[in-house]
Chain A
């Protein structure tokens, strides 16, 4: 399988895994392990200093083994996203940022105008910028023209598990892009992940589909395999669909009476 290239980095794995909402640290650790993901996403938040009893699973992972992709979740404006991104970068642990500026609290769909503004500002600051966007083809084009390092269109609303609702738009985005396209948000099951890869996506970013599965570790494995299968399928080139049957066995040498 070809490698995933983002900016000047290369990755074996095309699965980017979120780190939220796992039932326990042990399960999260094993799921991350089994997924073979090399890029982990996480959020930037105030420390819970007044109630330190609450565990932070992320701190127990060996973060040095992974490329860290913090998000700007919680931001509603470009300004807030830039503040969060700078805080994350100042840790010295990462220079990539998933630009996530939510424009609608109910659907959690991104604000296209603020996402574009934030991406522009963060590129000027020298970040590796990966914006989470809707499946808007023109917005993806505009982001690419700004110089973002990848486009991350959602398959459906964050955490909805509805899978790929508009494969045509995703395909348009994939076809036009010269930067990696990572399908982010809305993946529900392995078939969605495989489908995204068969459409030609360069990667899939998911969280809830694994962390909230009955067995997150097994689902992490299923997603890894689905993404590999989908990618191999894409690279192999599928057959053209036909309306009628075409025999697989020879039409000559029939045994007749």
Chain B
């Protein structure tokens, strides 16, 4: 399926269906990361649900230095 990932068109391999899969694929499992799909924040309890759909706008958000 094809999603918008952090503003970029991105093709996901077939085996990625959950947020957990996505984080695993980008090696983000042990990082502080906030996940938003179509402007809805996804709670951690839902990371194992197969919620990713074709055309989703997915944002992987984190904290960076700032004032």
Contacts and interface: CB of A to CB of B under 8 A. Distances in A.
B41 A47 contact: no
A22 B61 contact: no
A71 interface: yes
B48 interface: no
Contacts of B27: 52
B65 A20 contact: yes
Interface string A170-201: 00000000000000010000000000000000
A58 B61 contact: no
Nearest to A184: B67
A9 interface: no
B22 to A, nearest CB: 10
Given A18-B65, A19-B65, A205-B67, A49 B60 contact: yes
A64 B39 CA distance: 28
Interface string A66-89: 001011010000000001001110
A20 B67 CA distance: 6
Contacts of B66: 18-20, 41-43, 71, 73, 207
